[in-house]
Structure 1
Amino acid sequence: MHKLAGIELGGTKTVVVLGQPGRIDERMEFPTTDPTATLDRAIEAIRGWRDDKPVDAVGIASFGPVRVSREAADHGFMLDTPKPGWSGAAVAGPVHAALCCPVAIDTDVNGAALAEHRFGAAQGCESMVYLTIGTGIGGGILIAGEPAHGLLHPEIGHVRLRRAAGDRFEGGCAFHGDCIEGLVAGPGLAARLGTHPSRVDPDDPAWQPVAQDLAELFAMLILTVSPQRIVVGGGVSNRQPHLLPMAIARVPALLGGYLRECTRERLARLIVAPLLGDDAGPMGALVLAARALEDRTAAARAIAAEA
């Protein structure tokens, strides 16, 4: 059996795993600091797991924005990011150079989407969205089981949506102010509520506009992506479980009867928590590693067939 490694490169912490898609055998976690120190530590962790042979492939599920298009000259490089010191950093290249094996890179949320699609809450779905609501908001989209790529990759957290009537909060995003990330991600919530969200009672009226903003996000995704499942993870949704049902209850009114099958009961089955929890990202990195190995094998076969 092939030996695969995965790196979930998060804005706060990095998780390095050894295993197979659907199974994590070894795990190491440490803070994400500067690019060189973080990637070196990940590489050393993978090297330390060499008992009988090197790893065959590595998958990287990274925070972003990061260039994922293989045709781009800066493939595998970080783009402009709020994470200090990471803008322009090479991510995939140093891992490939150090470990001399195929490396695949995608966003952390696309990786998590792949894992939830194959092993978790979106099994059997042709189309799905994975949202993570934490320090920021990330969104991974799968269409026909494949991650959506294009000009860049989905940046769902930075869309700007209709605001709740009377809500004058300016938002906390450094780029866009009141984009959805600036409204409901952790730092925006703390500024909006005037304290850490954990200190605000679930019945406090201050949650009403937050739930309305999330409902607008869900309605937008239903109308644009038409997903069979929206999986919502991340620290904010995990620690504030009342928010998801509050938001779901508001979606039918926002749809205005246009999609009559989107009842509150149907939406509660469409918009769900992840089954894999914190393992979604690392397991997604292992799925990416398996894909990198498959791509190399297919390329070798194509060359052999032409010879």
Structure 2
Amino acid sequence: MNELVGGIEAGGTKFVCAIGTGPDDVRAIERFPTTSPEETLQRTIQFFKDQSTELGPVAAIGVGSFGPVDPHLNSSTFGYVTSTPKPGWKDTDVVGPLCNALGVPVAFDTDVNAAALGEWRWGAAKKLDCFIYLTIGTGIGGGGMINGHLMHGLIHPEMGHVRIPHDLSRDPYPGHCPFHGDCLEGLAAGPAIGERWGQPAEEFPDDHPAWELEAEYLALALVNFLCTVSPQRIIIGGGVMRPHLFEPVRKKVQELLAGYVDSTSITDEIDTFIVPPGLGSQAGVLGAIALGQRLCNS
């Protein structure tokens, strides 16, 4: 695959645009804040127009977007961000303006499914046909593969909005999610941590009590995903998922499962079962490039 492809990691906080063919060949990359749809999409379009002068045109573009989104090709709202809590972005057409302005085919999926595809192609999910990719940041999202296919269905997975046990006597915080209050995202995403403790999570030291509660909430969710999807690996990225969190999450998962899932991946090899992304912070935009490459191969 030598054709240049564009990738767009369309996040609720920032957009990352890149051109290349893979992790070892990123020719151009730019990051900028997610503002209004009009301003953000125009800046995205301008990036590809400017780079085409120097690098040549791209053969396709892949977009991994915050959601919820409509990923179904036969839908009248394919390529839209739909019922998002992101102010100003509800029912926004992302794919249409890109296709019209740039004249190339555009692949579209969730940001977590795109990152999952990148990890399967080049990172921590190589040679696996069933795994989950989670991102813990401003929001919480999940995607991945089952039997070698990206997860889709009625729409797409919304793992950040599962309901988990919430002991109000221990944690009286009501939750941040505007739809569900104390779902997983409402309790464990970055804004929830900041509101609960009165300062941003990135300012906490590793021994702050916030992390014990965070590890417990994440482990509760992972056990649910493990028991329903039975993944061969769980990959967790995002700005909230600091390196020191992995160990308490792994231990809590083992404790909650209580020996029920009889697999050495859980009992003896959990350090290689719950892991960070192999592509690091570039999983999303590289996964978007991988989405675009699928269009070139179809």
TM-score over 0.5 (shorter chain): yes
Whether the aligned pair in 2 keeps the contact of 1:61 and 1:109 (CA below 8 Å) is yes
**1:193 Cα offset (Å):** 2.6
Whether the aligned pair in 2 keeps the contact of 1:170 and 1:178 (CA below 8 Å) is yes
1:228 aligns with 2:232: yes
Whether the aligned pair in 1 keeps the contact of 2:20 and 2:289 (CA below 8 Å) is yes
Segments of 5+ residues of structure 2 without an aligned counterpart are none
Return the letter of the residue paired with 1:231: I
- Root-mean-square deviation (CA, aligned residues, Å) is 1.8
Whether the aligned pair in 1 keeps the contact of 2:60 and 2:104 (CA below 8 Å) is yes
**1:26 Cα offset (Å):** 0.8
Residue 10 of structure 2: aligned partner:
9
Return the letter of the residue paired with 1:193: W
**1:169 Cα offset (Å):** 2.9
Residue 73 of structure 1: aligned partner:
76
Residues 121, 204 of structure 1: alpha-carbon distance in 2 compared, 3 angstrom cutoff? same
Whether the aligned pair in 1 keeps the contact of 2:202 and 2:240 (CA below 8 Å) is no
Could you tell me how far apart the structure 2 residues matched to 1:56 and 1:206 are? 46
Residues 254, 44 of structure 1: alpha-carbon distance in 2 compared, 3 angstrom cutoff? same
Could you tell me how far apart the structure 2 residues matched to 1:260 and 1:225 are? 15
Segments of 5+ residues of structure 1 without an aligned counterpart are 296-307
Within a 5 Å distance, the mapping from 1:140-289 to structure 2 comes to 140-163=143-166, 166-167=169-170, 168-238=172-242, 241-261=243-263, 263-289=266-292
Whether the aligned pair in 2 keeps the contact of 1:5 and 1:18 (CA below 8 Å) is yes
Task: Give a deviation string over 1:28-53, Cα, whole Å, max 9, x none.
Answer: 11111111111111111111122474
Return the letter of the residue paired with 1:9: A
Whether the aligned pair in 1 keeps the contact of 2:107 and 2:295 (CA below 8 Å) is yes
Higher Rg: 1
Could you tell me how far apart the structure 2 residues matched to 1:3 and 1:200 are? 41
Residue 59 of structure 1: aligned partner:
62
Task: Give a deviation string over 1:214-266, Cα, whole Å, max 9, x none.
Answer: 1111111111111111111111113xx32221121011221132113254542
Q: Which secondary structure state, in structure 1, belongs to the residue aligned with residue 27 of structure 2?
A: strand
Within a 5 Å distance, the mapping from 1:12-23 to structure 2 comes to 12-22=13-23, 23=25
Residue 31 of structure 1: aligned partner:
33
1:92 aligns with 2:95: yes
Task: Give a deviation string over 1:7-32, Cα, whole Å, max 9, x none.
Answer: 11111111111111333111111111
Could you tell me how far apart the structure 2 residues matched to 1:197 and 1:3 are? 38
**1:199 Cα offset (Å):** 4.3
Residue 132 of structure 2: aligned partner:
129
Question: TM-score, structure 2 length as denominator?
Answer: 0.92
Could you tell me how far apart the structure 2 residues matched to 1:149 and 1:85 are? 26
Could you tell me how far apart the structure 2 residues matched to 1:289 and 1:177 are? 35
**1:164 Cα offset (Å):** 5.0
Percent identity over the alignment is: 44
Question: TM-score, structure 1 length as denominator?
Answer: 0.90
What number of residue pairs does the alignment pair up? 293
Residues 209, 166 of structure 1: alpha-carbon distance in 2 compared, 3 angstrom cutoff? farther
Task: Give a deviation string over 1:57-95, Cα, whole Å, max 9, x none.
Answer: 111111111100112111111101111111111100111
**1:203 Cα offset (Å):** 3.2
Whether the aligned pair in 2 keeps the contact of 1:7 and 1:60 (CA below 8 Å) is yes
Could you tell me how far apart the structure 2 residues matched to 1:158 and 1:207 are? 20
**1:208 Cα offset (Å):** 2.8
Could you tell me how far apart the structure 1 residues matched to 2:22 and 2:201 are? 35
Whether the aligned pair in 1 keeps the contact of 2:266 and 2:273 (CA below 8 Å) is no
Q: Which secondary structure state, in structure 2, belongs to the residue aligned with residue 27 of structure 1?
A: strand
Q: Which secondary structure state, in structure 1, belongs to the residue aligned with residue 119 of structure 2?
A: helix
Could you tell me how far apart the structure 1 residues matched to 2:208 and 2:246 are? 15
Task: Give a deviation string over 1:148-196, Cα, whole Å, max 9, x none.
Answer: 1111111110000123584333222111111111111111111223333
Whether the aligned pair in 1 keeps the contact of 2:193 and 2:210 (CA below 8 Å) is no
Moved more, 21-30 or 220-229: 21-30
Q: Which secondary structure state, in structure 2, belongs to the residue aligned with residue 175 of structure 1?
A: coil
Residues 201, 48 of structure 1: alpha-carbon distance in 2 compared, 3 angstrom cutoff? closer
Whether the aligned pair in 1 keeps the contact of 2:259 and 2:267 (CA below 8 Å) is no
